[in-house]
């Protein structure tokens, strides 16, 4: 399997994490608007642990969540990448594509552009056969990104996220899939 530390698109740089990313990532993960569809907010130690896990995934899996920047403009706007879920989900084993973009950078197409680059890496370099993504039903913005990158809803794969308690409003999740062509 091929591994890459960075991917460049027309407007973005997906790269490995650096120390300067910790503070803006922590701010994003603590933001109430950002956490509307996530079980946050998260404190600094939790966000630092996430970065450590993202970096560790590169060593374990050969890929992970890349920090996302706008070269020459903004050094950190979020993260996009591929992960192997460590929580036992009904459709595992699998590789998930995901994105986390700071709210002030929403609605600029960055998630779609970065996700397409991550998919290309996953299929062409990591030689994955399928990539999944999932979210809560109300997260229409993420669902639009999934559809723009040609993922298809697998309604038979919808599930209750086991990391969230029974009755938690974010527990129901919907599943999207895309296969290598």
Q: Is residue 174 part of a domain?
A: yes
Q: Is the pLDDT of residue 5 over 60?
A: yes
Matching residue, tokens 């050094």: 75
Count how many domains the chain has: 1
Q: How many CB atoms lie within 10 A of CB 127?
A: 10
Query: What pTM does this model have?
Result: 0.95
> Exposure of 42 by Cβ count < 10 A (0-12 exposed, 13-18 middle, 19+ buried)?
buried
Q: Is residue 13 part of a domain?
A: yes
Q: Is the pLDDT of residue 1 over 60?
A: no
Task: Give the 3-state secondary structure of the chain.
Answer: CCCCCEEECCCCEEECCCHHHHHHHHHHHHCCCHHHHCCCCCCHHHHHHHHHHHHHHHHHHCCCEEEEEECCCEEEEEEEEEECCCCCCCCCCCCEEEEEECHHHCCCCHHHHHHHHHHHHHHHHCCCCEEEEEECCCCHHHHHHHHHCCCEECHHHCEECCCCCCCCCCCEEEEEEEECC
Length of the chain: 181
At residue 36 the predicted structure's pLDDT band, cuts being 50, 70 and 90, is very high
Q: Is residue 91 part of a domain?
A: yes
Half-sphere exposure for 81 (CA within 13 Å, toward CB): 29
Q: Is residue 173 part of a domain?
A: yes
**CA gap 34, 75 in Å, rounded:** 19
> What token pair was written down for 58?
């590169």
Q: Is residue 169 part of a domain?
A: yes
Task: For residue 23, give its domain range.
Answer: 6-179
Q: Work out the average pLDDT over 4-15.
A: 96
Q: Is residue 1 part of a domain?
A: no
Give me the CATH number covering residue 106.
3.40.630.30
Q: Is residue 63 part of a domain?
A: yes
- What pLDDT score was predicted for residue 4? 81
pLDDT tens column, 95-137: 999 999 999 999 999 999 999 999 999 999 999 999 999 999 9
Largest CA-CA distance found in the chain, in angstroms, rounded: 45
In percent, how much of the chain has pLDDT > 90?
Answer: 97
First to last CA, the chain: 18
β-sheet bridge partners, residue 159: 173
């Amino acid at each position: 399997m091929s591994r890459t530390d960075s991917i460049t698109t027309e407007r973005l740089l997906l790269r490995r994490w650096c120390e300067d990313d910790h503070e803006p990532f922590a701010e994003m993960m603590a933001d109430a608007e950002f956490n509307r569809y996530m079980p946050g907010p998260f404190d600094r130690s939790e966000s630092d642990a996430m970065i450590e896990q993202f970096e560790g995934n590169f060593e374990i899996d050969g890929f992970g969540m890349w920090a996302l920047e706008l070269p020459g403009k903004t050094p950190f706007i979020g993260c996009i990448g591929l992960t192997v879920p460590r929580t036992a989900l009904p459709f595992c084993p699998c590789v998930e594509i995901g994105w986390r973009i700071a709210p002030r950078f929403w609605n600029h197409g960055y998630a779609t552009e970065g996700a397409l680059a991550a998919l290309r890496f996953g299929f062409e370099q990591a030689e994955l056969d399928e990539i999944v993504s999932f979210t809560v039903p109300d997260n229409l913005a993420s669902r639009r990104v999934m559809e723009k990158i040609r993922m298809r809803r697998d309604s038979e794969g919808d599930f209750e996220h086991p990391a969230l308690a029974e009755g938690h409003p974010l527990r129901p999740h919907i599943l999207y899939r895309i296969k290598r062509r």
